[in-house]
A and B are shown apart, each in its own frame.
Chain A
Amino acid sequence: MKISEIMKKTSQTINPSNETQEKVWNQVIEKTNRNSSFLYNIKRGFSYAFLVVILIRVGTLTMDLTKSGSDNTKTSTNIEIPNDVYYSDTDSIMSNSVKPQEDPNRNEINSNVEIIPIESTDNEANRIKAKTASINISVEELGKNVNSIYSLIEEYDGYTENTSISHSYAKIIIRVPSTNFDEMYSKVRLLGNNIISEQVITEDKQTELDNIQHTIETLQAQIDELTSQLNTETDIYEKKELENQIKRLNEDIVSLSKDKNLVLIETSYSTIEVFLTLATKEQDATKTIWIDLKNVLNFWLGMLVKMFVGSIFVAPIVGIIWVIKKVLKILMKK
């Protein structure tokens, strides 16, 4: 017998009865009505959402348990991290207790500080010095830090010479009594996240003052000498000449005294230029977008990992339920 004939003959023998056709049609109608109903789709949507939530929850729990398990094994070598650890802005994580407390790890770029030596003798301590400092600090919040600077100015009897504030940076020029300079400057340094750059220039004015004083004293001595000569002089022309000389010397002394006062005024107050820069503004747009993208990807990757871990635990349970359902179906058919 030919294969084609066998198949054609078989085809003729396979004929569905009207009853079968009607039975299948009824099943189709029932299924389509059920599957297209709003309630059914809502139910199905909730079922999927519920399954996803269960998978993520189980995954999270499993991962937490695994993590805590591995943490317990490490307790003997666990290193306690102090609360005041400072994270520089080069790290992606910023500690809440960012306040830098003279941390040696603090990120200080372009630091060009002329460290003022602690005067060991009284002579050195009393020397007159003119100090000018310039500091650039990276801050998280501009307003809060500007207010902190104003408080420091008030506390140390200083005043603001110039202030300019924009949305991303602030520049404040402070004048502070020289006696308070060191203390105030050390407090300014503690503001913000980290110091981007700083410079302190100390100019010793003591020698200049000593020279002026010495010149004044010399001139005074000359005046005294000329005055005594004047008292003994009889020649009217010579007397006139001496008087002129004394007058010129007195004028010089007045001028030098003015210079001396100027130096003293100048050194009585020191200048601190403070620049505050918003930390976020330092990052360029591409970097920010990349970080955001990375965070989003990390989030979804984390979710997928959790779902995967969850499914490892949930799948056998679902499998068992499926098998039970199938067995029940077969039994009911029988």
Chain B
Amino acid sequence: MEEANLIVEAKLGNKDAWQKLYEQTFTYMYKFVYSQTLHKEQTEDILSESYTKAFLNIKKFRAESSFKTWLYKIVKNELFRNFNKNKHIIQLTEEQEELIGKEDKDLSEEEERRKTKSLQILVQNILHKLPKVQSEILNLRFLLGYSIKETAEQMGISESNVKVIQHRAIKNARENYSYLLSNNS
């Protein structure tokens, strides 16, 4: 079923349509929230609250943008409301920094698992050290895999603006973590 039809059905209170919309968007939203919180239960709480709000207010959705865009705004607001940046940011340990610098082929299975976690922490640190707009663009572009066009639509800015902000974001992140990131990033 197309998204437009699903929206119509969801507005009528069809729970199957709700579930389909949920399934279509859940992974994206989970990636977005989890990358910021790195906490499974907190992510689940934020997402359940966001989806509840979205379904209770779906009649207000005027389909001027895609459902995902609309939902993303709700999730973002819920995240900012529940997530305390200064309190929940995890700091990288020296061991984790070392692991990030190592090549994958040299790592054992356990080390690889720890490196994955370390990279997640690094991403969280990178995103939280950047200004909001820059952080959001990196999030959309690389975590959620949006194209330049989709990112521009999502943020309501021009495509060239997205490119400029993305460039600045990468530059700032590289300056903040120059000791971990290669110069050709």
Asked if chains A and B come from one complex, the reply is yes
**A→B interface (CB under 8 Å):** 1-11, 13-16, 20-21, 23-25, 27-29, 31-32, 35-36, 333
In the complex, 17 of the A-B residue pairs with CB atoms within 8 angstroms, ordered by the A residue number, are A1-B100, A1-B180, A1-B181, A1-B182, A4-B170, A8-B142, A11-B35, A16-B30, A20-B30, A20-B44, A21-B30, A24-B48, A28-B52, A29-B15, A31-B49, A32-B55, A35-B56
- State the CA gap A3–B48 with chains docked (Å): 30
What chain A residues lie within 8 Å of B30 (beta carbons)? 14-16, 20-21
Asked if B26 contacts A10 (CB within 8 A), the reply is no
The 5 A-B residue pairs whose C-beta atoms are closest, nearest first, are A7-B142, A27-B48, A2-B185, A31-B52, A16-B30
Q: Mark B41-77, 1 if CB is under 8 A from A, else 0.
A: 1001001110110011000000000000000000000
Query: 0/1 per residue, B119-153, Cβ < 8 Å to A?
Result: 11011001000000000001001111100000000
Residues of B contacting A20 with CB < 8 Å? 30, 40, 44
By the criterion CB–CB under 8 Å, are B145 and A11 in contact? yes
B160 interface residue (CB < 8 Å to A): no
Given known contacts A6-B122, A11-B144, is B23 in contact with A21 (CB within 8 Å)? yes
B74 to chain A, nearest CB (A): 12
User: In chain A, what residue has the closest Cβ to B169?
Assistant: A3
Task: Check B44 against A3 for contact (C-beta < 8 Å).
Answer: no
**Chain B residues with a Cβ closer than 8 Å to the other chain, count:** 41
A33 to chain B, nearest CB (A): 10
Q: Mark B21-39, 1 if CB is under 8 A from A, else 0.
A: 0110011001100110000
Chain A residues closer than 8 Å to B116, beta-carbon distance: 10, 13
Which A residues lie within 8 Å of B174 (CB)? 3
Contact at A28–B119, with CB atoms within 8 Å? no
Q: Report how far A152 CA is from B182 CA in the complex, Å.
A: 111
Smallest beta-carbon distance A125→chain B, Å: 92
What distance in Å separates the Cβ of A216 from its nearest Cβ neighbour in chain B?
105
8 Å CB contact of B27 from A4, A10, A16, A32: A16
| Minimum distance in angstroms from B19 CB to a CB of chain A | 7
Q: Tell me the bound Cα distance from A9 to B35 in angstroms.
A: 12
State in angstroms the CA–CA spacing of A11 and B174 once bound together.
19
Interface residues of B, Cβ cutoff 8 Å to A? 15, 19, 22-23, 26-27, 30-31, 34-35, 40-41, 44, 47-49, 51-52, 55-56, 100, 116, 119-120, 122-123, 126, 138, 141-145, 170, 173-174, 180-182, 184-185
A271 CA to B159 CA, complexed, in Å? 96
* Cβ-closest chain A residue relative to B52: A31
Report how many A-B pairs have Cβ atoms within 8 Å: 96
Contact of A25 with B123 in the complex, beta carbons under 8 Å: no
- Cβ of B105 to closest chain A Cβ, rounded Å: 14
A16-B27, A27-B48, A31-B48 as given contacts; A7 in contact with B182, CB under 8 Å: no
Chain A residue at minimum C-beta to C-beta distance from B120: A10
In the assembled complex, which residues on chain B have CB atoms less than 8 Å from the CB atom of A28?
22, 48, 51-52, 55
Question: Nearest chain B CB to A32's CB is how many angstroms away?
Answer: 5
Question: What residues on A are CB-neighbors of B55 within 8 Å?
Answer: 28, 32
Pick from B56, B126, B182: contact of A32, CB under 8 Å: B56
Q: Are A3 and B119 in contact (CB under 8 A)?
A: no
- A6 (CB) vs chain B CBs: closest residue: B119
Q: What residue in chain A is nearest B185 (Cβ atoms)? A: A2
Known: A6-B123, A11-B142. 17 other contacts (CB 8 A): A1-B181, A3-B170, A3-B181, A6-B119, A10-B119, A10-B123, A11-B143, A14-B31, A14-B35, A16-B30, A20-B40, A24-B51, A25-B19, A28-B52, A31-B52, A32-B55, A333-B41
